[in-house]
Amino acid sequence: MSPGDTLFGRLLNRPPGTPEATNLPLVPGVGLQVYLDSEGHVEHLGGPVRHALLRLTARSVTHLTDYLLPHSGLVVEGRPQDWQGQTLDLDFFSQAGPPLHLRGWVQPQGDGWLLHLLDIGDLLGERRQARSREQCQWLAGQIREQLRLCSFTRLAQVLGEQLQRVSQYLHIPCLALAVLDDQEQGWQIHQHYCAPGAPQLWSPAQGLGTALDSLNSAAPQALQASVQPRLSSVFGPNPGFAVPYCDAQGVAAWLLCADYDAGQQAPDLGDRDWLALATAIAAPLLESLREHRHQQQLERLEALQALLGTGWWEVFDSAEVQLARSLADSLGLPATRLSLQDWFARVHPADRDELRSQLQALQDEGTPLELCVRLQPCEQAQLLWYRVQGQALGIGAGRRLVGFMLDISDIKNQQQQAAAAHARLDNLIASSPAVIYVQRYVEGALQPTFFSASLQPLLGWSLADCSDGALVEHVHPDDRAVYFQRTRQLLREGTVSTRYRVLDRQGHAHWLLDEAKLLRDDLGLPVEAVGLWLDITEATLAAEQVRASEERYRILVEDSPAMICRYRPDLTLIFGNRPLATYLECAPEQLPGVNLGSWMSDEQRAAFTQRLAQLTPQVPVSTAEVNLRLPGREHAWWVWSDRGVFDEQGRLLEVQAVGRDNTEVRRSQQQLTQSAKMATLGEMATGLAHEINQPLNVMRMAIVNVLKRLGNGDVQVDYLTDKLNRIDAQVQRAARVVDHMRVFGRRSEIEQHPFNPLEAIDGTLSLLSEGLRGKGVELRLKESDLQVQVRGYVDQLEQVLINLMVNARDALLSKREADRDFQPWIAVSAESDEHVVRLWVEDNGGGIDQRLLERIFEPFFTTKPVGVGTGLGLSVSYGIVENMGGRLSVRNGDEGARFCIELPLAVVD
């Protein structure tokens, strides 16, 4: 009998020391002796067991069956002599409650019989117990197998089923398995089962605290829980039974049976059976949980290593290294185990020897290894930076060299980039004319605490030279107020940009642009100012020079007698100087915005803008004489030079113009032209007299003839009418000549107009043709119906033609004086192409001496006798044609001079 069984017997409320009932000797004074009469009536009782029997109420005759439970009464039916030779198993009512199991036999005793019985209760209990234990073991085996074989995902379900099975088998209303919680600070319900109708004592994951530990002193045995306050948190007010499961570390789980009295419900199960049952449930469960937790941890570790690009390594026998799978993968290694040589081969040559030496030191002296190395996963791949750390574990022969590698490429790259940026910045600062400075805020003042190295080459000062208020000493005395103002503004507004002069060590002033920003702490209080000085001396001086030069030019422009202005392509003035303003009768300030075109006629303006349109970056200048109607003056003529200013695409941005008033010159020219015209008229006087004489002669002849007829009295009306009509025609002819002379003698109009040049030829011929014919000069006219227009003055072109024809006539007549047979002629013709029209005047007067050809257009050049020639005819004609945009030229033809008037065709809208 085991101690457990002893304990268990106590738990089941059994009296200790109950002897077994097998093979007991028939000894009087042992067991129970019942003296019976022949009918089976009890005469008296003997032996110690008799005290345990239920006392019957005293009656006269008591039969043996009165002491027996009903089913035993059947065994002893009849009389004692019938029972001889049989083993009688009888169950007696006992005082304690449970029946007393007795075995015995009868033997004759005197007249009666002696029934000798021994207590076989323990023997039967043993058997039952053995059977129960067997079944319990079988159940435990089943449960263990079920839990061991099932997958983790089904574990909870299978455990639930097994708890239910145990509950049903042992009639346990509430059954639960408690395990230590994750932090191992207390017990918690892992899973529970409640039979239908049983109280719901627990819920999954319910914390039980440490109350169960109080039972632990008696572990590893099954324990009946007394209803103590500290266990009421586990079992409530109900009785309970807790069976521990112990592993190497102690109690690892509790099988809790609540609302349950094991002594009554499972009296046959010993402590060992309960412990075995708890083990069958808890051991595979905990094993499975542990395995799962371990698996999860491994997975987490793997994930962590893969995420961090890290992993462990271990060196074996100084020859081989094993790497974590994630590490081998990220290094592109085919296997996780490789020779040290191969591992070193992956390390960049620059780091290889250091790693080898540190590894050796780790191996020899256990010096911890810590190194950053570059590794090349494969040939083309980029280098990766790894931090390698290692340590020696254990001592002596069992020493292991283990460590980890962490991918720090990101950090290294950032470090390198930051270092490069830093170096670039340093370079930039060192090579720039900027000085970076830091001023610390100390009680309302800003004290320099740092200057970049560029301070020395720029000003020759060091930080020490500028500390303790010395900086102000270096600021130019005239600019100190600006400097103090700058500090105040910086402290007030947090930022400032200003310029002032600072004296260098040699006493030379430098213009500095000071840009500063104030940095504040979390409370908004000033901490320091960071700023830079930029040497802008050259720029400042250059700007001053530009300003001075601009001022000089401004004075030049302002004081110039010429009109100077700038205007946009739409003729709006941007600027105009005083002379221009004076002409336009306003102040110079009023000029911007005024449109130059407002003083021009529509035609002038059109011609002006057309001329501007022809300006190009290659030919940006154009000069012309423009005619304006100025306020208070009738007309003004300005010689106007424009210079276009273009952008990069060649678009005209603005025009700069210089002008001079040419009105007086123009007036003189007009007067000259007029004089020349009058002179021409004077010259033509003879021809004109002839021109008028001719009709007068015709009229006189007609009148004489009419008078003669009248004298004869032979006057018919028809004859008279005919003569009068002829006279009228001659009057009209004379009137036309006079009219044209009057028109010709007028001053030219101010503005040019388009006209057909053939009109000028007609006008000229009307004045000259009769006269020429009278002088015997043949006029050769080439019929033409040109429909073209030129721009200018028709009377002036006529004047040119008259000059040419009169000159031709003079040459012809002087030639005929020498040669009476000479047949003089003048040919006039016109032709045009798409751009110009040419009028030809040619004669057969022998031409102009080659040496004189260049000079004949000069004013006052004449070969005619004094008082005859003025020498102005061709010069004025040249001016007129040029003013019309054309050209007057001459060359000698076959027989005489050949003059050409070439005029541009007018563009008529």
Per CB under 6 A, residues contacting ligand ADP are: 803, 807-808, 811, 843, 845, 848, 856, 861-864, 869-871, 873-875, 897
Q: How far is the CB of 828 from ligand ADP (least distance, A)?
A: 13
Q: How far is the CB of 787 from ligand ADP (least distance, A)?
A: 29
Q: How far is the CB of 677 from ligand ADP (least distance, A)?
A: 13
Cα separation of 262 and 239, whole Å? 10
**Is there a cis peptide before residue 754, judged by omega within 30 degrees of 0?**
no
Is the CB of 417 or the CB of 671 nearer to ligand ADP? 671
Residues facing residue 223 across a β-bridge = 242
Is the CB of 233 or the CB of 863 nearer to ligand ADP? 863
Q: How far is the CB of 777 from ligand ADP (least distance, A)?
A: 12
Q: How far is the CB of 831 from ligand ADP (least distance, A)?
A: 20
Is the CB of 305 or the CB of 875 nearer to ligand ADP? 875
Is the CB of 305 or the CB of 807 nearer to ligand ADP? 807
Q: Under the phi-then-psi rule, with left for phi > 0, alpha for psi from -120 to 50, and beta for the rest, what region is 776?
A: left
Q: How far is the CB of 902 from ligand ADP (least distance, A)?
A: 17
Cα separation of 275 and 141, whole Å? 13
Tokens representing 377 are: 């996963």
Is the CB of 165 or the CB of 775 nearer to ligand ADP? 775
Is the CB of 240 or the CB of 845 nearer to ligand ADP? 845
Q: How far is the CB of 854 from ligand ADP (least distance, A)?
A: 11
Is the CB of 278 or the CB of 848 nearer to ligand ADP? 848
Edge-to-edge strand list for the sheet holding 223-225: 207-209, 187-194, 174-180, 250-258, 240-247, 223-225
Q: How far is the CB of 865 from ligand ADP (least distance, A)?
A: 9
- HSE, CB side, 13 Å, CA atoms: give it for residue 275: 15
Residue 586: φ, ψ to 5°: -150, 175
Q: How far is the CB of 758 from ligand ADP (least distance, A)?
A: 22
Beta carbons of 174 and 195 less than 8 angstroms apart: yes
Q: What share of the chain is helix, strand, coil (3-state, %, to 5)?
A: 45, 25, 30
Is the CB of 155 or the CB of 779 nearer to ligand ADP? 779
CB-neighbour burial class of residue 356 (10 A; exposed 0-12, middle 13-18, buried 19+): middle
Q: How far is the CB of 883 from ligand ADP (least distance, A)?
A: 17
Cα separation of 327 and 192, whole Å? 44
Crossing angle of helices 685-712 and 717-745, in 10° steps, is 160
Is the CB of 871 or the CB of 885 nearer to ligand ADP? 871
Residue number, nearest CB to ligand ADP = 873
Cα separation of 96 and 90, whole Å? 17
Beta carbons of 261 and 121 less than 8 angstroms apart: no
Q: How far is the CB of 848 from ligand ADP (least distance, A)?
A: 4
Eight-class DSSP state of 524: S
Beta carbons of 243 and 255 less than 8 angstroms apart: yes
Q: How far is the CB of 586 from ligand ADP (least distance, A)?
A: 45
Edge-to-edge strand list for the sheet holding 563-567: 573-576, 563-567, 652-661, 636-646, 621-628
Cα separation of 727 and 704, whole Å? 12
Is the CB of 554 or the CB of 891 nearer to ligand ADP? 891
Is the CB of 696 or the CB of 852 nearer to ligand ADP? 852
Is the CB of 272 or the CB of 864 nearer to ligand ADP? 864
- Dihedral angle, C-alpha 833, 838, 843, 849, nearest 10 °: -110
Rg (alpha carbons) of the chain, rounded to whole number: 72
Is the CB of 215 or the CB of 848 nearer to ligand ADP? 848
Question: Tokens 């089923």 map to which residue?
Answer: 161
Is the CB of 588 or the CB of 871 nearer to ligand ADP? 871
β-strands 778-781, 384-393 pairing: unpaired
Cα separation of 230 and 757, whole Å? 137
Q: How far is the CB of 855 from ligand ADP (least distance, A)?
A: 8
Q: Extract long-range pairs of 630-637: CB within 8 Å, 24+ residues apart.
A: 630/583, 630/584, 630/585, 630/599, 631/584, 631/585, 632/585, 635/663, 635/750, 636/583, 636/661, 636/663, 637/661, 637/662, 637/663, 637/665, 637/666
Q: How far is the CB of 864 from ligand ADP (least distance, A)?
A: 4
Beta carbons of 92 and 75 less than 8 angstroms apart: no
Beta carbons of 517 and 436 less than 8 angstroms apart: no
